[in-house]
Amino acid sequence: MDEHYFTADPTTPFKRVPVRTNVWGHWLELTSGSGVFAQGRLDIGTGVLLREAAPPEDAREVLDLGCGYGVIGLAIAVAVPEARVTAVDVNERALLLARENAERLGVADRFTAVLPDEVDPAASYDEIWSNPPIRVGKDALHELLLAWLPRLRPEGRALMVVGKNLGSDSLASWLGEQGYPTEKLSSAKGFRVLESRPAS
């Protein structure tokens, strides 16, 4: 059976691959790897999200949902020194790389990369940032979002980047129906950046 980046424990031989990118004026020297989403590069969707959205200066607790090797959450931790970031993923190899990257960037005291079941059930967040794993399928994606969006604080928001051809508009409508009014903040390179907020 083919493995995917959302496989919990990839059996692909582990090869580390460097990634260097500038986010919000900060150079990030990162390590990606085989068996992890976007090996050796900053994927287009994540790049769109980080270019089109400003760093969450007022956020103190941030969730990076489906963190991969950690680029979104690490960019936030570097740009917003007051923020604590929880990064979650089902891929153990991705979490290992995210932790290594946090150490290298000097933010390991404010960046925690864990499996979903290891997150405190009572934890809540000012912001959730995600390039969600659309390819897990609609049902699994909906289940994932409904597990985490309720953790948003009343004045919080979720930012997600989703390909237009992968259902960004229908996802926005569905999120609204679930009690998370969602608007398109921007569109670039075939992707939309969506902002969801808890219904008041």
Report the CATH number at residue 143: 3.40.50.150
3-state secondary structure of 153: strand
- For the chain, the residue count is 200
Task: Determine, yes or no, domain membership for 127.
Answer: yes
pLDDT (tens digit per residue) in 117-162: 999 999 999 999 999 988 788 899 999 999 999 999 999 999 999 9
pLDDT (tens digit per residue) in 58-114: 999 999 999 999 999 999 999 999 999 999 999 899 999 999 999 999 999 999 999
Amino acid at residue number 92: E
Task: Determine, yes or no, domain membership for 167.
Answer: yes
How many folded domains does the chain comprise?
1
Which domain range does residue 145 map to?
44-196
Task: Determine, yes or no, domain membership for 106.
Answer: yes
Backbone angles phi, psi at 11, to 5 degrees: -100, -5
**Predicted TM-score of the model (pTM):** 0.91
Task: Determine, yes or no, domain membership for 119.
Answer: yes
Task: Determine, yes or no, domain membership for 120.
Answer: yes
Task: Determine, yes or no, domain membership for 29.
Answer: no
Task: Determine, yes or no, domain membership for 11.
Answer: no
Task: Determine, yes or no, domain membership for 152.
Answer: yes
